[in-house]
């Protein structure tokens, strides 16, 4: 008989993705992923599970140790459905699919102080002690003008486009938005935007890329701003303008504190990257675009291969399958919000 707590966690997972899947589904650049993943997702999931099992059983690593290889929890949460799709294609029984989903949820939980499902709109990674340390030491700057707040928010906005240009819809590899963390009588709130893997030469060897790997932006908002973050790391602001509600901020590049001027210097590079990669990808045929998507998917689980000392790249058999494959026309249309909800509820 299934464990009631496990059943509850599975239900909470289904509910969380049902609420989040409708966000941005109309974005089909560079290809409609749902119409292409039949060409590589089965093999991706097979490798993912095999790598985790090897590290766990052969090397004796705990799930927490394996989770830390990924660094940010979204990178694990957003591949659960890929693992389940692969298992379903391989005709694993439902009970086995659920065991894997629960294992991956355990890994997500290991990287967070709060719930793995972001109930209530909070993606809580930091402990209260870490929040206190961060707000005391890392977030000293106050916007000197509306223009300075606008620059900070403009940079965050364009970084969404930058990260999507280098990793398509695999936002988890390159972003973790967490918080809001409440303090000072619960009327001030901290949100942290971490931009990760910003210089992936393995995928874009000839493109203009930022000369850093990580950018972390801390933002403290006043009581007029309301913020929620769903389980797939989408941020929903409400209330007052974010620009007007910003009280303090901090910027780190590759772990070192920086002034806001560095973001102003990076803006032309970010715009150049978006232009170059968009132009290049738009010049490719459908199969080559899918191949690039597969490379990004394999990069998603690169930490596991690195831990095993193995090459992480897409296997040749998968490459052949992609180059000879065709689009699934039944999955090429945009899903309505209701269809996304029904599909999520059918997951495991």
| Residues 189-206 pLDDT 10s | 999 999 999 999 999 999
pLDDT for 1 equals 47
Q: Within this chain, do residues 95 and 151 fall inside the same structural domain, yes or no?
A: no
E-strand stretches of the chain: 175-183, 188-195, 215-221, 225-229, 235-239, 246-253, 256-258
Residue 120 φ/ψ, nearest 5 degrees: 80, 5
Query: With bands split at pLDDT 50, 70 and 90, how would you rate the model's confidence at 87?
Result: very high
Span 56-84, pLDDT tens digits? 999 999 999 999 999 999 999 999 999 99
Q: Domain of 239?
A: 121-280
Instruction: Find the mean pLDDT for residues 240-261.
Output: 95
Instruction: Find the mean pLDDT for residues 278-283.
Output: 96
Give the Cα separation of 258 and 249 in Å (integer): 11
- Boundary-marking domain end, from 250, 280, 310: 280
Q: Within this chain, do residues 212 and 270 fall inside the same structural domain, yes or no?
A: yes
Q: Within this chain, do residues 41 and 169 fall inside the same structural domain, yes or no?
A: no
pLDDT for 183 equals 80
Q: Within this chain, do residues 130 and 261 fall inside the same structural domain, yes or no?
A: yes
Residue 96 located in a structural domain: yes
Residue 233 located in a structural domain: yes
From 66-75, 141-150, 272-281, the region with the lowest mean pLDDT:
141-150
pLDDT for 342 equals 57
- Boundary-marking domain end, from 258, 280, 302: 280
Q: Within this chain, do residues 68 and 134 fall inside the same structural domain, yes or no?
A: no
Q: Within this chain, do residues 149 and 271 fall inside the same structural domain, yes or no?
A: yes
Residue 273 located in a structural domain: yes
Q: In percent, how much of the chain has pLDDT > 90?
A: 81
Give the Cα separation of 154 and 157 in Å (integer): 5
Give the Cα separation of 202 and 255 in Å (integer): 22
Query: Residue 210's closest CA among 124, 128, 284, 271?
Result: 271
Q: For 57, which DSSP code?
A: I
Q: Residues, the chain, total?
A: 348
Taking residue 339's Cβ as centre, other Cβ atoms within 10 Å add up to: 14
- Tokens, residue 15: 């509910």
- Whether the link from the prior residue into 274 is cis, omega within 30° of 0, is no
Residue 116 located in a structural domain: no
- Count: domains in the chain: 2
Query: With bands split at pLDDT 50, 70 and 90, how would you rate the model's confidence at 297?
Result: very high
Q: For 328, which DSSP code?
A: -
pTM of the model: 0.93
Res. 331: pLDDT tops 90: no
């Amino acid at each position: 008989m299934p464990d009631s707590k496990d059943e509850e966690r599975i239900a909470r997972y289904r509910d969380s993705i049902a609420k989040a899947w409708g966000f941005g589904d109309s974005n089909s650049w560079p290809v409609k992923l749902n119409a292409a993943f039949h060409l590589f997702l089965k093999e991706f999931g097979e490798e993912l599970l095999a790598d985790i099992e090897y590290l766990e059983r052969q090397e004796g690593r705990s799930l927490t140790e394996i989770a830390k290889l990924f660094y940010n929890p979204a990178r694990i949460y957003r591949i659960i459905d890929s693992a389940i799709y692969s298992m379903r294609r391989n005709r694993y029984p439902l009970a086995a699919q659920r065991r894997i989903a629960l294992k991956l949820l355990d890994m997500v939980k290991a990287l967070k102080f709060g719930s793995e499902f972001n109930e209530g709109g909070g993606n809580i990674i930091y402990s209260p002690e870490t929040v206190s340390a961060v707000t005391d030491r890392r977030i000293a700057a106050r916007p000197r003008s509306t223009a300075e707040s606008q620059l900070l928010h403009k940079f965050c906005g364009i970084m969404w486009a930058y990260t999507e240009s280098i990793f398509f819809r695999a936002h988890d590899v390159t972003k973790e938005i967490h918080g809001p963390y409440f303090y000072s009588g619960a009327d001030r709130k901290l949100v942290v935007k971490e931009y990760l893997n910003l210089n992936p030469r393995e995928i874009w060897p000839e493109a203009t890329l930022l000369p850093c790997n990580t950018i972390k932006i801390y933002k403290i908002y006043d009581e007029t701003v309301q913020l929620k973050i769903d389980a797939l790391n989408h941020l929903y602001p409400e209330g007052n303008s974010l620009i007007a509600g910003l009280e303090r901020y901090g910027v780190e590049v590759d772990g070192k504190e920086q002034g806001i001027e560095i973001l102003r210097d990076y803006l032309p590079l970010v715009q150049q990257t978006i232009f170059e990669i968009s132009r290049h990808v738009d010049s490719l045929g459908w199969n080559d675009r899918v191949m690039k998507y597969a490379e990004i998917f394999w990069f998603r689980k690169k930490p596991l291969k690195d831990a095993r000392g193995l090459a992480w790249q897409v296997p040749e058999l998968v490459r052949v399958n992609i180059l000879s494959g065709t689009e699934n026309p039944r999955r090429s249309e945009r899903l309505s919000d209701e269809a996304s909800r029904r599909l999520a509820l059918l997951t495991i």
